[in-house]
Chain A
Amino acid sequence: MGASSSVGASLELRLEGISKRFGQVVALDRSDLTVEPGLLLSLLGPSGCGKTTTLRIIAGFESPDTGRVVIGDRDVGQLPPNKRGLGMVFQNYSLFPHMTVGENIAFGLKMARVGPREVRSRVGEMLDLVHLPGFEERYPHQLSGGQQQRVALARSLVTRPAVLLLDEPLGALDKNLRENMQFELRRIQRTLGTTTILVTHDQEEALTLSDRVVVMNQGKILQVGSPNDVYEFPHTRFVSEFLGASNLFEGGLAHAGDGTFELAVTHGEDTTVLRVLHDDNVGTGEAMIAVRPEKISLSEEAPDRGNVVRGEVAGHVFRGSYHAYEIEVAGRDDPVFVYSQARSRSGEQVFQPGQAVHMSWDESDSVLLTDN
Chain B
Amino acid sequence: MNWLPYSVSSRLPRLSLVAYMVAFFVFLLGPIFIVVAISFTTTEFVAFPPKGFTWRWYERFFDYEPFVNSFIVSVELAVATALLGGFIGIPAALAVVRGRVPFADSIMTFLLSPLSMPLIVIGFSLLFFLSALGLGVSFLSLLIAHTVISVPYIVRTVAGVYRSISPDYEETAAVLGANRIQIFFYITLPMIKPGIFAGMLFAMLISIDNLPISFFFGSYETNTLPVVMLSYLEHQFDPSVAAASSIQLVVAVIGLFIVERIYGLDAMAPAT
Q: Are B169 and A111 in contact (CB under 8 A)?
A: no
Q: Are B172 and A94 in contact (CB under 8 A)?
A: yes
A97 → B minimal CB distance (Å) = 7
Q: Are B175 and A88 in contact (CB under 8 A)?
A: yes
From B173, B175, B179, name the one whose CB has the most chain A CB atoms within 10 angstroms: B175
Q: Which of B168, B175, B187, B191 is in CB contact (< 8 Å) with A81?
A: B175
Confirm or deny: B265 has a beta carbon within 8 angstroms of a beta carbon on chain A: no
Confirm or deny: B270 has a beta carbon within 8 angstroms of a beta carbon on chain A: no
Confirm or deny: B190 has a beta carbon within 8 angstroms of a beta carbon on chain A: yes
Closest to A94 in B: B168
A-B residue pair count with CB separations less than 8 angstroms: 57
Residues on the B chain within 8 Å of A112, using CB: 177
Confirm or deny: B28 has a beta carbon within 8 angstroms of a beta carbon on chain A: no
Q: Interface readout for A154-193 with B: 1 if CB under 8 Å, 0 if not?
A: 0110010000010000000000000000000000000000
Q: Are B172 and A111 in contact (CB under 8 A)?
A: no
B177 → A minimal CB distance (Å) = 4
Closest to A113 in B: B177
Residues on the A chain within 8 Å of B191, using CB: 97-98
Residues on the A chain within 8 Å of B187, using CB: 96
Q: Please tell me the size bucket of the interface on B.
A: 10 to 19
Residues on the A chain within 8 Å of B166, using CB: 92, 94
Q: For the complex, what is the distance from the CA of A80 to the CA of B190, rounded to whole Å?
A: 23
Confirm or deny: A261 has a beta carbon within 8 angstroms of a beta carbon on chain B: no
Residues on the B chain within 8 Å of A322, using CB: none
Closest to B170 in A: A94
B78 → A minimal CB distance (Å) = 28
Q: For the complex, what is the distance from the CA of A86 to the CA of B169, rounded to whole Å?
A: 15
Confirm or deny: A108 has a beta carbon within 8 angstroms of a beta carbon on chain B: yes
A88 → B minimal CB distance (Å) = 4
Known: A61-B171, A94-B168, A111-B182. A159 touches B176 (CB 8 A): yes
Residues on the A chain within 8 Å of B171, using CB: 59, 61, 81, 88, 90, 94
Known: A94-B166, A96-B187. A82 touches B172 (CB 8 A): no
Q: Please tell me the size bucket of the interface on A.
A: 20 to 34
Q: For the complex, what is the distance from the CA of A84 to the CA of B171, rounded to whole Å?
A: 13
Confirm or deny: A87 has a beta carbon within 8 angstroms of a beta carbon on chain B: yes
List residues 93-136 of chain A with CB under 8 A from any CB of chain B: 94, 96-98, 107-108, 111-112
Confirm or deny: B186 has a beta carbon within 8 angstroms of a beta carbon on chain A: yes
Confirm or deny: B34 has a beta carbon within 8 angstroms of a beta carbon on chain A: no
Confirm or deny: B174 has a beta carbon within 8 angstroms of a beta carbon on chain A: yes
A356 → B minimal CB distance (Å) = 57
Q: For the complex, what is the distance from the CA of A97 to the CA of B166, rounded to whole Å?
A: 12
From A61, A94, A155, name the one whose CB has the most chain B CB atoms within 10 angstroms: A94
Q: Are A111 and B168 in contact (CB under 8 A)?
A: no
Q: Are B174 and A82 in contact (CB under 8 A)?
A: yes
Q: Are A86 and B175 in contact (CB under 8 A)?
A: yes
Confirm or deny: B256 has a beta carbon within 8 angstroms of a beta carbon on chain A: no
A84 → B minimal CB distance (Å) = 8
Q: Are A159 and B177 in contact (CB under 8 A)?
A: yes
Confirm or deny: B178 has a beta carbon within 8 angstroms of a beta carbon on chain A: yes
Q: Are B190 and A88 in contact (CB under 8 A)?
A: no
List residues 147-184 of chain B with CB under 8 A from any CB of chain A: 166, 168-169, 171-179, 182
From B171, B173, B177, name the one whose CB has the most chain A CB atoms within 10 angstroms: B177
A92 → B minimal CB distance (Å) = 6
Closest to A61 in B: B171
A118 → B minimal CB distance (Å) = 15
Residues on the A chain within 8 Å of B172, using CB: 88, 90, 94, 96
B98 → A minimal CB distance (Å) = 12
Q: Are A108 and B174 in contact (CB under 8 A)?
A: no
Q: For the complex, what is the distance from the CA of A94 to the CA of B168, rounded to whole Å?
A: 6
Residues on the B chain within 8 Å of A107, using CB: 173, 176, 178, 186
A40 → B minimal CB distance (Å) = 18
Residues on the A chain within 8 Å of B169, using CB: 94, 96
Residues on the A chain within 8 Å of B168, using CB: 90, 92, 94
Q: For the complex, what is the distance from the CA of A84 to the CA of B190, rounded to whole Å?
A: 25
Q: Interface readout for A279-298 with B: 1 if CB under 8 Å, 0 if not?
A: 00000000000000000000
Residues on the B chain within 8 Å of A85, using CB: 177
Residues on the B chain within 8 Å of A111, using CB: 176-178, 182
Residues on the B chain within 8 Å of A98, using CB: 190-191
Known: A61-B171, A90-B168, A94-B166. A82 touches B177 (CB 8 A): yes
Q: For the complex, what is the distance from the CA of A111 to the CA of B187, rounded to whole Å?
A: 12
A287 → B minimal CB distance (Å) = 46
Closest to A165 in B: B175
Q: For the complex, what is the distance from the CA of A83 to the CA of B182, rounded to whole Å?
A: 13
B203 → A minimal CB distance (Å) = 24
From A59, A81, A87, name the one whose CB has the most chain B CB atoms within 10 angstroms: A81
Closest to B172 in A: A94
Residues on the B chain within 8 Å of A61, using CB: 171, 174
Q: For the complex, what is the distance from the CA of A82 to the CA of B187, rounded to whole Å?
A: 14
Residues on the B chain within 8 Å of A96, using CB: 169, 172-173, 187
Q: Are B175 and A87 in contact (CB under 8 A)?
A: yes
Closest to A90 in B: B168
Q: For the complex, what is the distance from the CA of A59 to the CA of B187, rounded to whole Å?
A: 19
Closest A-B pairs by Cβ, 6 of them: A108-B176, A111-B177, A94-B168, A81-B174, A88-B175, A98-B190
What are some 23 contacts across the A-B interface (CB < 8 A)?
A61-B171, A61-B174, A80-B174, A80-B179, A81-B174, A81-B175, A82-B174, A82-B177, A82-B179, A84-B175, A88-B171, A90-B168, A90-B172, A94-B168, A94-B171, A96-B172, A107-B173, A107-B178, A107-B186, A111-B176, A111-B177, A155-B176, A165-B175
